[in-house]
Structure 1
Amino acid sequence: MSRSTRYDGSGLHPRHVRDHHFATVGFGRRGLDPAEVRRFLHRVALDLTMLHQDLALLSAENARVKRALRAWHGAGPNGRRP
């Protein structure tokens, strides 16, 4: 994933989901505007996708750093294992 597509915190925040209000349909019809609901759900899905991708990248990086730290910690003072 390129740096420009990573979730940078400017996307959807939980409060946006919690506080979002959909417009009602006019002309004597009742209910919500289906197109607006679909657009909002697509936006939520996109942000969730980016968050899941970032979580996977961070988990892989965390595992790599832990392995490197264990290898470094196991080395002696001159960089060799005892």
Structure 2
Amino acid sequence: MNRDDGTLPARLHPSLVRDHQFPTVGFGRRGFARREVRRFLLRLALELASLHREVTRLTEENTRLKRLLRDRRSAQANRPPC
């Protein structure tokens, strides 16, 4: 979610989520400002989606590198001695 000035907000940190305070609705009503809650939840969902994509990418990269290392070790083990 972009800020009004077009920049992206800082990444969400667990403490920001834990400590976030929603504004209450106006006088005579109970609860939180529904729009603020929805905005925050949307931001949280976008951040989680981004983190999940990054974890998937890093897991795939890790698998690829492990396979490459295993193949290289196997190729060296199968080399005839010099």
TM over 0.5: yes
Question: Match for 2:18: what amino acid?
Answer: R
Q: May I ask how many residue pairs the two structures share in their alignment?
A: 70
The residue aligned with 1:33 is 33
Unmatched 5+ stretches in structure 2: 1-9
Alignment root-mean-square deviation, CA = 1.3
Runs of 4+ in structure 1 off by over 3 angstroms are none
- Determine what percentage of the aligned residue pairs are the same residue: 53
2:28 and 2:73 map into 1 onto residues whose CA distance is 71
Unmatched 5+ stretches in structure 1: 1-9
Q: TM-score, normalised by structure 1?
A: 0.80
The residue aligned with 1:66 is 66
State the Cα distance separating 1:76 from its structure 2 match.
Answer: 2.4
Q: TM-score, normalised by structure 2?
A: 0.80
